[in-house]
């Protein structure tokens, strides 16, 4: 330490030297921060591939699992992963902003579960900016708004539960309630599952890309065949409270409902609560799509009769790895043969197997739910 009596010229000289040393240290720190900073993966930030995952919402565990799968793949492959989500299923504006952010950050690619048709223009803008766009779970319309889609064959998923339902009816009249996703916009996952279910049941659908234009009464041809009546369809937003409200509305319209198709398992859980409150939970067959661990448990307990299991973790992991491969080698992923997307698979889950309908048990499904 300098004495308080040291000459002023010496003090000034020492302070100047100290300032130079301090500035030099700061300069080195600033330069080194951008080129040698490391992450938990141990890789340099300069080497990391930028990827943004934009899901529909984090209120649905399906998309939370998708985020977990992407994080796992990002950690393994040294990816700079950014996460974004709509505030609710159908929130397009938040997704559009996340796409704009990915473009401005210079990401290599985007993984997205589109919330609706309004995101299509933003996806095209991202492609024009050189980003590789992969849709997950929900193909955009048109499909080429994304470079590729990794998804369940949603029509096949619906068709499986439709065939199974027809077998369970064994010729009885089907009084059907349809709990769909939206009533204010058209998304492929919505009409593909709905129309697949009706097709599997053996109901003639007028336009497979449009919900609600089939005849409201007639004959179904699946299983032993029989009469059907469609009480109506209600939007649920894919949420439990939406499923409960939708089911209450359709029960008020016709209390004799005995078949309930639901867009996903949260909607199915809500529908069951409404049926239980009406004292009808033992008289109605509820079927769904998702195959999450909670949904599989609901099949096991009899709340849901059968569900079509998807693999969102697989979708996300494959999406991250595809962008990394593209960045490293220039190789792009390809669609499954005969499809305009890459099929990540689907299995029917039930403990009441039906002749001619391939299925797995809840014990088997619980080991692989959502690709864990």
Q: What is the pLDDT of residues 242-251, one digit of tens each?
A: 999 999 999 9
Residues β-bridged to residue 285: 259
204 pLDDT band (50/70/90 cuts)? very high
Above pLDDT 90, what percent of the chain?
84
Mean pLDDT over residues 195-218, rounded? 96
The radius of gyration computed from the CA coordinates of the chain, to the nearest angstrom, equals 27
Whether pLDDT at 23 is above 50: no
What's the CA gap between 276 and 58, in Å, rounded?
27
Q: What is the pLDDT of residues 86-95, one digit of tens each?
A: 999 999 999 9
Q: What is the pLDDT of residues 38-55, one digit of tens each?
A: 333 333 445 789 999 999
Cβ atoms within 10 A of the Cβ of 13, count? 11
Give the pLDDT of residue 11: 36
3-state secondary structure string across the chain? CCCCCCCHHHHHHHHHHHHHHHHHHHHHHHHHHHHHCECCCCCEHHHCEEEEEEECCCCCHHHHHHHHHHHHHHHHHCEEEEEEECCCCCCHHHHHHHHHHHHHHCCCEEEECCCCHHHHHHHHHHHHCCCEEEEECCCCCCHHHCCEEEECCHHHHHHHHHHHHHHHHCCCCEEEEEEECCCCCCCHHHHHHHHHHHHHHCCCCCCCCCCCCCCCEEEECCCCCEEEEEEEEEECCCCHHHHHHHHHHHHHHCCCCCEEEECCHHHHHHHHHHHHHCCCCCCCEEEEEECCHHHHHHHHHCCCCEEEECCHHHHHHHHHHHHHHHHHHCCCCCCCCCCCCEECCCEEECCCCECCECCECHHHHHHHHHHC
Mean pLDDT over residues 91-105, rounded? 98
**Structural domains in the chain plus CATH codes:** 45-152+313-333 (3.40.50.2300), 154-309+346-371 (3.40.50.2300)
79 pLDDT band (50/70/90 cuts)? very high
The residue with tokens 């048709």 is 117
Q: What is the pLDDT of residues 157-168, one digit of tens each?
A: 999 999 999 999
Q: What is the pLDDT of residues 272-300, one digit of tens each?
A: 999 999 999 999 999 999 999 999 999 99
141 pLDDT band (50/70/90 cuts)? confident
29 pLDDT band (50/70/90 cuts)? very low
210 pLDDT band (50/70/90 cuts)? very high
């Amino acid at each position: 330490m300098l004495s308080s009596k040291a000459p002023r010229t010496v003090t000034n000289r020492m302070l100047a030297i100290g300032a130079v040393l301090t500035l030099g240290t700061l300069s080195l720190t600033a330069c080194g921060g951008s080129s040698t900073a490391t992450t938990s993966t141990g890789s340099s930030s300069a080497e990391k591939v930028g990827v943004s995952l934009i899901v529909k919402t984090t209120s649905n565990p399906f998309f939370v699992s998708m985020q977990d799968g992407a994080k796992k793949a990002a950690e393994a492959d040294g990816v700079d992963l950014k996460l974004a989500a709509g505030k609710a299923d159908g929130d397009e504006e938040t997704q559009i902003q996340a796409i704009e952010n990915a473009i401005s950050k210079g990401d290599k690619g985007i993984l997205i579960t589109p919330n609706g048709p309004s995101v299509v223009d933003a996806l095209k803008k991202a492609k024009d900016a050189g980003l590789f766009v992969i849709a997950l779970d929900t193909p955009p319309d048109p499909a080429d708004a994304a470079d590729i889609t990794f998804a369940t064959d949603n029509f096949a998923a619906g068709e499986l539960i439709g065939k199974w339902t027809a077998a369970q009816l064994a010729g009885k009249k089907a009084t059907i309630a349809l709990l769909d996703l939206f009533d204010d916009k058209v998304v492929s996952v919505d009409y593909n599952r709905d129309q697949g279910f009706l097709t599997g049941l053996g109901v003639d659908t007028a336009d497979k890309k449009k919900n609600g234009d089939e005849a409201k009464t007639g004959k179904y041809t699946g299983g032993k065949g029989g009469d059907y009546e469609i009480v109506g369809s209600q939007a649920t937003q894919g949420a439990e409270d939406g499923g409960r409200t939708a089911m209450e509305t359709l029960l008020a319209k016709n209390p004799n409902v005995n078949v309930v198709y639901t867009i996903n398992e949260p909607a199915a859980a809500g529908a069951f609560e409404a049926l239980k409150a009406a004292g009808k939970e033992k008289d109605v067959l509820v079927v769904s799509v998702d195959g999450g661990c909670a949904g599989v448990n609901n099949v096991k307990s009899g709340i849901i009769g059968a569900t079509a299991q998807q693999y969102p973790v697989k979708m996300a992991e494959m999406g991250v790895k595809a962008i990394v491969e593209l960045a490293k080698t220039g190789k792009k992923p390809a669609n499954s043969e005969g499809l305009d997307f890459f099929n990540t698979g689907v299995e029917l889950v039930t403990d009441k197997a039906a002749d001619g309908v391939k299925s797995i048990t809840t014990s088997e499904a619980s080991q692989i739910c959502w690709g864990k």
